């Protein structure tokens, strides 16, 4: 009977040691992942305060226009006409 208890105790002790080792490995992996996640924002190329999907400004600073022959013409307001004229004179 005592021999059986010693065997059971040895098995339980071995299982406890295995579980403890696995727990320690998981804890170290978790710490490594936490440090990787913590360093991610500092490695981002996006400046702080901008959204990742926010488009960048057009580097050409030009605008393309498409004319449609099927749609009615749109009248520019007097203010828009003045702005266009000023841009042409300055350019």
Which domain does 21 fall in, by range?
2-42+60-90
Alpha carbons 2 and 31: distance in angstroms, whole number: 43
**Does some domain include residue 38?**
yes
> Which residues, including other chains, have CB under 8 Å from residue 52's CB and lie 6 or more apart?
46
**Does some domain include residue 50?**
no
Tally the residues of the chain: 91
Q: What are the angstrom distances between the C-alpha of 43 and each of 4, 38, 51?
A: 59, 10, 15
**Does some domain include residue 55?**
no
**Tell me: the pLDDT tens digits for 53-72?**
766 666 666 777 777 666 66
pTM of the predicted protein model: 0.42
* Number of structural domains the chain divides into: 1
**Tell me: the pLDDT tens digits for 7-38?**
999 999 999 999 999 999 999 999 999 988 88
Half-sphere exposure of 53 (CA within 13 A, CB side): 0
């Amino acid at each position: 009977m005592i021999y059986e208890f010693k065997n059971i105790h040895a098995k339980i002790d071995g299982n406890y040691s295995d579980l403890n080792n696995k727990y320690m490995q998981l804890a170290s992996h978790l710490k490594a992942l936490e440090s990787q996640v913590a360093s991610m924002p500092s490695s981002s190329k996006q400046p702080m305060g901008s959204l990742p999907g926010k488009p960048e400004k057009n580097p050409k600073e030009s605008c393309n226009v498409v004319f449609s022959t099927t749609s009615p013409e749109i009248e520019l307001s007097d203010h828009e006409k003045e702005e266009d004229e000023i841009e042409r004179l300055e350019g």
